[in-house]
Structure 1
Amino acid sequence: MLAAKTAVAAAVAWYLAPAVPFADAEYSYYAPMGVLVSMYPTVADSARAGVQALGGLALGIVLGFGGLAAVTAGAPAVAAIALVIGAGVALGGIQGLGAGRDWIAIAGLFVLLLGGGHADEFSLSYLLTMAFGVLVGIAANYLLLPPLYLREAGAQLTALRERLALSLERLADDVEAGGVDRERLDRESDELASLAGAVAAGVGEAGRSVRGNPRGRRRATEQEQNDRAWSSLERATLLTREVTEVLARRPQVTKEGGRGRDRQLSAALRDCGDLLAAGASADAMTDAADRASAAVTRYARAVVAQTDDTAQPDSAFAVAGHLSRIVQLCGPAEVRG
């Protein structure tokens, strides 16, 4: 869809570019280029990138005139080129210029080498024709089925919730079996971090796809639900990774009291996993939350009652606290859609 819209917009910009006021039709080929720099998956991204590109072009044009002034003053052409390119690349290091950073040195070089004795005419045509292409690109993205990524973000959030549930289930199996595979737990923790990063990017893109999108006005509530869900699941992911880290590093439990506490821990992990797997059903989540809360409470009481065990009590208290927080974040009062 993006490719099709870009193709249509580039053709329209090329066809209409000769009618741009104050611009020479000879430079109409810059209009499709303006479309290219402004076509992004979302309307908001298109508008931002287009404005940034035009800002970079304006800075580059100023640099190009500076290079021409240096040549007029008697500086060698090679020195003027070096000056323009060096200054353009240096300004391109300013992060705030965004997509416009790449165009500063290019625009300066074009003005210096192609402007010649008609630098004023070339620069004005260059900037206006590119601006026209940017406007056509933004208009095409707005009018031709502007994309919404809310459904995709929701699917990513569901996948993260299910992956967290699976991680807690596996931890429960390990604790119940009496040993853990530290390398596997470290690997799973890293995988959770990568998945959470991908989900954060997806939710962010979905939010941008709503802004400036006429189709997004009717689905603002869905975006709010995604934002709330991500807020809870982001913290639940961090807590799950903390629990994984603690359990991967704790010493092996050998005393009977410690093994009894591990049975409570295994039940708490499993019930917390069931809570995450319950999804958005209010009834199912209420029941799962009640079971998880009771299981975590039993484990916490077992920790308090057996602080003289060989397992590190501070770590056990930390695990109990993390699991309790997961229940609070993902329970029925925090259903995120």
Structure 2
Amino acid sequence: MSTRLRARRSGAALEIREAVHPARLLLVAKTTLAVGLAWTIAPHMPGITDEYPYYAPLGALVSMYPTLMGSLRSGLQTLLGLATGIGLALLVVITVGPTWWTIPAVVGVGMLISGTGWFGAAREYVPVAALFVLIIGGQNADDYSLGYLVQMAVGVAIGLIVNVVIAPAPLTLAAAARVDAFREQLSAHLHDIGSAVSESWPPEHEKWADDAASLADTTSALRAALADADDSRRGNVRARGRRGETQHIHADLTRLDRVAHLIRDISDEIADTIWDRPGALELDPALPEPLSAACHAVAEVIGQEEPLTAADHRARAEAARAIRLLLETVDVRTIDVRRSMGPGVLAAMHLRRILILSGHREPDEPAGSDAESSGA
């Protein structure tokens, strides 16, 4: 129970930090400004549209996203959804008119159309717009439809202008920081495995086994964060130059994803052995010590922040030596007891692969890639 309570508190603290993050506060300020401008401008629109000024702030609100492309996409999809819903409603008005059965029928048709995927996050506006035109518009459905659509378009336009003038910062650095944190998480998890197999047998704590299941979720969340970072650079004047590049971050995440799969495999195999799950193979008493040393050594390599330093070279040499000693122990015990050292073989193979994958990118790799592409 205490572990769950700590996890909930940690999650709540993270949500609070995200709510007051500078990028989030900037979005709040821009949204407030856009809504205020929309409400100020809306009453001055020509014709009948000035009778529906309250839809302009709504248009500004729905168009405000953390990225420029997100704002443009949301605004256009909202207007498309509104136009479609209004078109359905007007079709009813000029034919049979709003009745006890045409209103729910047109809402149902709107729901079906909204499920096509054309409208993105604004898909709810298709049936909502149709319903509003038939119920609120009533006898003045044509005037209401025009005012509704025009004022929403005004709000969307104001929101886009505000987002362009006050361009949001690219999310590249934040995504890179999260990838670095994931690397540290993988290092810590492998350290936990090393500690688990070297303590009293069977290990008393199970947290390392539970944490392994969360690695895949973390990878998925990081890919979404990188997609947002790429989206934040499109059309953003603050992303010009090399500062916003994400190619090397994608490459790092791909490597770390493969490392995570290998660590999860090691964790699952050892957990099967510890708790005697179906398909488990016995861990020879001579293996925990060299296996623990190899896990700790490879974890140190994963956790290295600076590439091509003396500390990095020493860590890699120590890891290679620890894996070699583990393999030697596996070979000796296989001959002595004349049976397979299953968990030891799998762990040694995976640790060696992790060591290879953890090789750091050369500092001039992006420059070399650019040179090749320009030469082509």
Bin for the TM-score computed over the shorter chain: 0.7 to 0.9
8 A contact 1:13–1:133 mirrored in 2: yes
Aligned CA distance change for structure 1 residues 98 and 311 (closer, same or farther; 3 Å): farther
Partner of 1:35: 60
Aligned CA distance change for structure 1 residues 333 and 311 (closer, same or farther; 3 Å): farther
SS of structure 1 residue aligned to 2:100: helix
Partner of 1:134: 156
Aligned CA distance change for structure 1 residues 266 and 139 (closer, same or farther; 3 Å): same
8 A contact 1:252–1:311 mirrored in 2: no
Aligned CA distance change for structure 1 residues 103 and 132 (closer, same or farther; 3 Å): same
Deviations 1:38-85 (A, max 9, x none): 11112121111111111211211122123324434xxx6111111122
Report the Cα offset of residue 90 of structure 1: 2.5
Q: Can you give the 5+ residue segments of structure 2 that lack an aligned partner in the other structure?
A: 1-25, 277-282, 367-376
SS of structure 2 residue aligned to 1:111: helix
TM normalised by structure 2 equals: 0.78
Aligned pairs for 1:105-124 within 5 A: 105-124=127-146
Aligned CA distance change for structure 1 residues 80 and 312 (closer, same or farther; 3 Å): farther
8 A contact 2:284–2:341 mirrored in 1: no
How many angstroms apart in 2 are the aligned matches of 1:334 and 1:325? 19
Name the structure where helix makes up a greater proportion of residues: 1
Partner of 2:354: 326
Partner of 2:251: 228
SS of structure 1 residue aligned to 2:203: coil
- In the comparison of the two structures, how many residue pairs are matched? 331
Select the residue among 305, 316, 320 that pairs with 1:293: 320
Residue identity matched to 2:298:
C
8 A contact 1:68–1:80 mirrored in 2: no
Q: Can you give the 5+ residue segments of structure 1 that lack an aligned partner in the other structure?
A: none
How many angstroms apart in 1 are the aligned matches of 2:118 and 2:266? 38
Partner of 1:17: 42
How many angstroms apart in 1 are the aligned matches of 2:340 and 2:62? 58
Select the residue among 115, 122, 125 that pairs with 1:93: 115
TM normalised by structure 1 equals: 0.86
Report the Cα offset of residue 202 of structure 1: 2.8
Deviations 1:239-265 (A, max 9, x none): 211111111112599xxx934333322
SS of structure 1 residue aligned to 2:29: helix
Report the Cα offset of residue 8 of structure 1: 0.8
Aligned CA distance change for structure 1 residues 181 and 101 (closer, same or farther; 3 Å): farther
8 A contact 1:285–1:332 mirrored in 2: no
Aligned CA distance change for structure 1 residues 88 and 103 (closer, same or farther; 3 Å): same
Aligned pairs for 1:270-285 within 5 A: 270-283=296-309, 284-285=311-312
Aligned pairs for 1:162-311 within 5 A: 162-177=184-199, 178-181=201-204, 183-220=206-243, 222-250=245-273, 258-283=284-309, 284-307=311-334
Report the Cα offset of residue 20 of structure 1: 5.0
The question of 1:48 aligning with 2:73 is answered yes
Partner of 1:313: 341
The question of 1:5 aligning with 2:30 is answered yes
Partner of 2:9: none
CA RMSD of aligned residues (A): 2.9
Aligned CA distance change for structure 1 residues 2 and 274 (closer, same or farther; 3 Å): same
Aligned pairs for 1:69-84 within 5 A: 69-72=94-97, 77-84=99-106
How many angstroms apart in 2 are the aligned matches of 1:55 and 1:216? 29
- How high is the sequence identity, in percent, across the aligned residues? 33
Partner of 2:23: none
Pick which of 305-314 and 259-268 moved more.
Answer: 305-314
Report the Cα offset of residue 305 of structure 1: 4.5
